[in-house]
Structure 1
Amino acid sequence: MALAHGVAALLVALLALGATVYGDCICEKNKRVKDCTLNNGECKCVSWGSDVTVSCLTLTSKCLLMKAEFTGLQGRSIPRHAFVDNDGIYNPECDNKGNFQAKQCNGTSTCWCVNSAGVRRTEKSDANITCNEVVRTSWIIIETKPVNSALDTHTVERAITDALVQRYLLNQKHINVMYENSYITVELKQNASEKSARDVDIADVAYYFEKDVKGDPIYSQSRWNITVQGEPLQLQDTLIYYVDEKPPEFSMKRLTAGVIAVIVVVALAIVAGILVLIFTRRKTGKYEKAEVKEMNEMHRELKS
């Protein structure tokens, strides 16, 4: 009885601190869960929008997190002029382990193929598109910029590395952090042979990191709290690049208008250069012929 009262008191204290309790335990690493139960000291919960049970001792897969986030958006009041970046957030199809299915669709007849990070790697097509495999994303590059650029290089690199190891549970051998020219570059490398069953996936780490930086943490209680030289490390202009083990299958349709314009300008410049060369040669040839003609005429005049 005393133990039960103690547990109840603990839950009340946690609620007072702003923690969210789901069922019999608290899922610290994922706030988008339900129906939690405590079994042999491990808290397990059902992810929103799916019937997949996740462990709260580690990170939840990006696919399940995206599905839960999409589910959470349903029924909310959204401004009339708002729009959704369908390449950034969509309702993904996950397998029973929480991994992305190779083929994803938007609920209509538009489908595409994704990599292991859930990022589109083909043109959008109809439902007949064939996606034979989930190509692994083995290298993720995160570029970001501190709000305060007057920071010690080694201290920044150490702080980011420690956060990736301690907060996101990633093995340090997969991490390389560089701080130069006011930009932080985080490289996460992890091919299939390097990832054990207990290792977190770099795609999941990058997603948690992105959410923390944007002020929308997936953790239920603790927030992004990295300090450098006694000040909170605030980041801005964050971009994430994905490198797959096989190149993507995009065509010219994928290129933006700006890129296409640059290609057209370069092509026109090359054509203009060729035309100038041709006309220059023609003029040179005419001049040489005229010069020869004049010399012949002078030679005849001298003979006469």
Structure 2
Amino acid sequence: MNDTTASLKESVGRYGVWSVQLRSEEPEGGAERAEAAAELERLGYGALWLGGNSAARHAAPLIQATSRIVVGTSIQSIWEHGAAEAAAGLAELEVSHPGRFVLGLGVSHGPRVEGYRRPYSTMVGYLDDLDRAGMRSGHRVLAALGPKMLDLSRDRAAGAIPYLVTPEHTAQARERLGAAPLLAPEFKVVLDSDASRARATARAYLAMYLKLPNYTKNFLNLGFTDADVTGGGSDRLIDAVFAWGDEATIRARIDAFHDAGADHVALQVVEDDPARLPRDGWRRLAALLA
């Protein structure tokens, strides 16, 4: 393990928050986002992972509002942000706030990218460009699901940040990565113990992801069936990729990722209003993780 990767593992700790709301550029919400980031730091989370197609400019205000928490992109699309831009954004934050920003990169999805082609080869070329721009591999992580991208995460980055996965995937990823790289899967939490209500919230949120073949293919590779990934997702699938229930059940579901080999779990609180910062949910989650 190189010093940069070891330092990243220590900095992000065991738990972080994944949020697309914190990535927003709406000016009227800037003060609340900064306040929320500072509170998440006080609550003990080690990292904030910015959903959507995020970049260093989205991380900067949150880093400025806090003193230690790491902020990462999850992910920055390699199709929409050039390597020179990405390297410059990281370098600027590294000067002003060293060790506080990590560049999470991904290949996005065919249905969302015009001219989508050869994602693995394109990622290899992008990493080559980052190297030429002077970015060290320890400052970047990859959104890796399949074995080839996991190999890149091991060999050309500080580790992997898989999205929408299960502990079974985490175990497979850890075996592929080896012990040294950071493995930080994202995991969704619905803080509701009513089965039908929690599953309805989860199913509504999962719907957009079931239209993306990268995820459905990964589910099939993990042993789910076509029936599981159609019709909004089976209860079996919902219960595998979301934690819901009482506090002990949710804590056990999160612990399963660590038991499977995760260093860090990026927790996404899912509620019925996806535009609102789930601040009470983050507080409740921090309490049950304490």
Higher relative contact order (CA 8 A, sep 6+): 2
TM range, smaller chain: under 0.3
Higher strand share: 1
Higher helix share: 2
TM-score using structure 2 length: 0.26
- Larger Rg, first or second structure (1 or 2): 1
